[in-house]
Structure 1
Amino acid sequence: MNSYVAVVGLGYVGLPLAVSMARAGMQVLGVDTDPAVRHAVDRREPPFAEPGLAAALRAVPTDRLTTAEALPERPPAAVILCVGTPVAPDAHQPDLRQLRAAVDGIAPRIAEDTLVVVRSTVPVGTCRRYVLPALRRGVAAPLLACCPERTIQGLAMAELGSLPQIVGGLDSRSRARADQLFAAVCPDRVPVSSLEAAEMTKLACNAHTDLIYGFGNELALTAAALGLDAWEIIDAANLRYPRPDISGPGYVGGSCLTKDPYLLLDSAGRAGRWMPMVAAARAVNESVPYAVVDGFRAALARHGDRPATEAKVLVCGMAYKGRPATDDVRGGAAAVVATLLGPTVGTLAGHDFLVPEDRTKELGYEPVDLDEGLCDADGVILLNDHPGYRELEPEAVRSRMRAGRVVFDVWGVARQRLDGAPGVRYLRYGRG
């Protein structure tokens, strides 16, 4: 098989795949409409943080991985679509404009034997309903496969080579070609019967994860209302009990878990079905930032030594998660918290170990380093579980913060050092 492959979309999904395929000996063209992204890749400097990616990218020979704004005239052996598929913020309907633009861009430039792979997460039926007719405008009998990405940020390079790769095809020839393509980077591959089966498998994975986390959050909200500690209850329930563990509470974010349940709900709706468990889990998980802000405000009102309108609040954790660490803020709680708190406090400062200061500012915060943020702060919200926040010392909190010293820890990341520390009002999400 011709080893010339094009990867369309060089983001958190596309670039690790492009680098992995180039390292496996393929000739890879990375296609992205953003010149800043292309220039960064050409300089061998990833435009985002992902462990192992920078070293792997630098190790790829210059001629093995190149970039372009669009697919060139020479048809590649395969085109892999890795563009974003968000949902509309309010209606939560699928927004497939990026995918449609990508398909329209490649359709005139593929050959009869070019395999097109949809790696983006899409509603069930998207490949057959939209991608296939668009490709048929270029070739009579397209080769089309759906091979969804299932890695998590922070472990993408390792998981590309270890996770089972779902492979679905329009027909047996398409599936066989896709299986052969991914064999170079994914030793474990799972064939499924159709494009739709592959599409739904990915949605099922993330909706299930969202549902599991949603139950932990439901327990947290209820335990707090009952004056109990959800962490104690969950730890006791899991200890030496031979059933699936109950997940701990915390904000469920990211570009996948905040949208893929809605893609599954949209898919079910097209078939006349409603999935109440999926919808309920998403509603619970989306309520977490509101519960955190409500609890923090109440504590600040009780213990703060100046009015909220004059208070300085430090929010730690702009990225949607802290472990494995990432600089991705998509689907994170930080934007919601800024909207809720920003207009009501004197100063809203933001800190993150990886997110650049300009991105922190865009989210609605005054970017600070950790020491600067603690200085003269009335309250702190530890919004994600980055291990760096475990190192917060009680003495640093006491000496830098104002007398109220409210610390609201969503994940319990600092509980070993701060819970019970004299002079610190340490609150945990899920504890009444």
Structure 2
Amino acid sequence: MDAARVPVRDVLPHIVVVGVGYVGLPAAVMWAKAGLSVTGVDIDPSIVEGINNGRHHVTGGELDRMLSDPAVRDHLVGSATPVAGDAFIVAVPTPVDYLTKRPDLGAVEAAVRSICPVLTRGNLVVIESTIPPLTTSGLVKELIERETGLKVPEDILLAHCPERILPGAIEHEIVHNDRLIGGIDDASTQAATDLYATFVKGALIPTSATAAETAKIMENASRDVGIALANECALICEKVGVDASEVIALANRHPRVNILSPGIGVGGHCIPVDPWFLVDVAPAETRLLRAARVVNDEMPKRAATRVRTALNGKRGARVVALGAAYKRECDDVREAPARDVVRLLQATGITVEQYDPLVPGMGYASLAEVAKGADLVIILVHHARIDDDIAAAGGDLPPVLDLDPR
């Protein structure tokens, strides 16, 4: 299209971020550090209050440290409702229904609908939330046009720019990772590129909205399939009586093989969720993705069975479980398979005390002290701190069962 039809500004001085959680807040912080005026909008009053007080509602974590930067406090304010601005970023959760595994886009619809009363000609709308292919060009575009009476992209620019961040390294990754900039047209892509160029040092890769949507989900689906292969390898090795870690290390000596590490399952808000978005739009073409989900979802049950076997059926057993985050070296407990393992063990009458030195409120002063009198210590998440604490405890620990081998 002719970019002159939309008055795209050279500078976007006011950014409105709708949804300032694990994805939206880091972006809001980075634009604030770049000197732009930013309003962070959230339906959770504690998040809004925290932003206005320069702290995160979960204290002591990575996001709390980012918010405490004085430069951020000078340019970022929290609000319960959207305000007028130049660019609007939607970064709200996109879960799947627990039973049907269908995408739940209710939060995206609500967020887009909430900004429509303040949208004006020339504004840019960016969806950062992970969404099924064709959502930007379909549901989002149609909703904006219906609610505002304006046309996309003639009046309102629209793009999908999925996040690529790793909990535990958010501040580094949001700046240095490459970003996909998927505009609904060339002018939208350029406007979004200009916006993210204010803080991103990685490559800004222009593409279409649908290609960006699909690529983002394939990134996580690829990880899910790779983890499922590693987990299935571990099950095979158990069946034939060989050590899975050794087998994987041997296989990985091949220059074109890279089998991942097996574990107790897949957690977080991305990898176990996103493949279902592709299953929803292409059910006949996603047999492998569905099979990988089945394998990974069964791993907590397998882990719980191994613990019960190690306890030899002891009644009233007490277990100390180390690790609660969904992956190593982070404090994020969302959808963590460690939680499922603990729940399954407790359901059989085993007393489980769970600790994680990286998760606020779940630490311990001395591993040897909390493990005193336990029948078994199980490693659910292999943080380096846990390794160090086990080594420091030496022979003062009960038997240790490693369910997350490196």
Q: Counterparts in 2 of 1:390-405, with a 5 A limit?
A: 390-393=387-390, 396=393, 398-401=395-398, 405=399
Name the SS of the counterpart of 1:166 in structure 2. Answer: strand
Could you tell me which amino acid in structure 2 is paired with residue 258 of structure 1? Answer: P
1:355 lines up with 2:352 in the alignment: no
Query: Which of residues 113, 128, 134 is equivalent to 2:122?
Result: 113
Q: Which runs of 5+ in 2 are unaligned?
A: 1-10
Structure 1 counterpart of 2:385:
388
Cα distance 1:246–1:387, how it changes in 2: closer, same or farther (>3 A)?
A: same
TM-score w.r.t. length of structure 1 = 0.85
Could you tell me which amino acid in structure 1 is paired with residue 311 of structure 2? Answer: L
Point out the more displaced range, 338-347 or 247-256: 338-347
Q: Distance in 1 between matches of 2:392 and 2:192?
A: 57
Structure 1 residue 51, shift from structure 2 partner: 4.1
Q: Is the contact made by 1:385 and 1:411 (CA closer than 8 Å) also made in structure 2? A: yes
Could you tell me which amino acid in structure 2 is paired with residue 19 of structure 1? Answer: V
Name the SS of the counterpart of 1:111 in structure 2. Answer: coil
Query: Which of residues 307, 313, 317 is equivalent to 2:319?
Result: 313
Q: Distance in 2 between matches of 1:368 and 1:377?
A: 17
Q: Distance in 2 between matches of 1:61 and 1:10?
A: 14
Query: Which of residues 154, 160, 184 is equivalent to 1:170?
Result: 184
Structure 2 counterpart of 1:379:
376
Name the SS of the counterpart of 2:275 in structure 1. Answer: helix
1:182 lines up with 2:175 in the alignment: no
TM-score w.r.t. length of structure 2 = 0.90
Q: Distance in 1 between matches of 2:64 and 2:177?
A: 17
Structure 2 counterpart of 1:96:
105
Structure 1 residue 348, shift from structure 2 partner: 1.6
- Listed one character per residue, the Cα deviations across residues 196-243 of structure 1 (whole Å, up to 9, x for unaligned) are 11110100111011111211111111101111111001111223x321
Q: Distance in 1 between matches of 2:392 and 2:71?
A: 47
Could you tell me which amino acid in structure 2 is paired with residue 410 of structure 1? Answer: L
Q: Distance in 2 between matches of 1:393 and 1:57?
A: 33
Could you tell me which amino acid in structure 1 is paired with residue 48 of structure 2? Answer: R
Could you tell me which amino acid in structure 1 is paired with residue 55 of structure 2? Answer: E
Cα distance 1:59–1:139, how it changes in 2: closer, same or farther (>3 A)?
A: farther
Name the SS of the counterpart of 1:60 in structure 2. Answer: helix
Structure 2 counterpart of 1:281:
292
Point out the more displaced range, 335-344 or 105-114: 335-344
Q: Is the contact made by 2:320 and 2:376 (CA closer than 8 Å) also made in structure 1? A: yes
Q: Distance in 2 between matches of 1:215 and 1:44?
A: 44
Point out the more displaced range, 385-394 or 113-122: 385-394
Structure 2 counterpart of 1:7:
17
Name the SS of the counterpart of 1:168 in structure 2. Answer: strand
Could you tell me which amino acid in structure 2 is paired with residue 26 of structure 1? Answer: L
Could you tell me which amino acid in structure 1 is paired with residue 403 of structure 2? Answer: V
1:293 lines up with 2:307 in the alignment: no
Q: Is the contact made by 2:261 and 2:405 (CA closer than 8 Å) also made in structure 1? A: no
Could you tell me which amino acid in structure 1 is paired with residue 52 of structure 2? Answer: D
Q: Distance in 2 between matches of 1:173 and 1:336?
A: 46
Structure 1 residue 87, shift from structure 2 partner: 1.0
Q: Is the contact made by 1:315 and 1:382 (CA closer than 8 Å) also made in structure 2? A: yes
Structure 2 counterpart of 1:245:
258
Could you tell me which amino acid in structure 2 is paired with residue 321 of structure 1? Answer: K
1:411 lines up with 2:382 in the alignment: no
- Listed one character per residue, the Cα deviations across residues 95-138 of structure 1 (whole Å, up to 9, x for unaligned) are 11111111111111111111110000011111222111211121
Q: Distance in 2 between matches of 1:172 and 1:394?
A: 56
- Listed one character per residue, the Cα deviations across residues 312-356 of structure 1 (whole Å, up to 9, x for unaligned) are 111111111122x2x211121122113211122342211011323
Could you tell me which amino acid in structure 2 is paired with residue 24 of structure 1? Answer: A
Percent identity over the alignment? 35
Count of aligned pairs between the two proteins = 388
Q: Distance in 1 between matches of 2:389 and 2:228?
A: 28
Could you tell me which amino acid in structure 2 is paired with residue 342 of structure 1? Answer: Q
- Listed one character per residue, the Cα deviations across residues 286-331 of structure 1 (whole Å, up to 9, x for unaligned) are 11111111111111116xxxx33x11111111111122x2x21112
Q: Distance in 1 between matches of 2:27 and 2:377?
A: 38
Q: Which runs of 5+ in 1 are unaligned?
A: 361-365, 414-432
Q: Is the contact made by 1:50 and 1:156 (CA closer than 8 Å) also made in structure 2? A: no
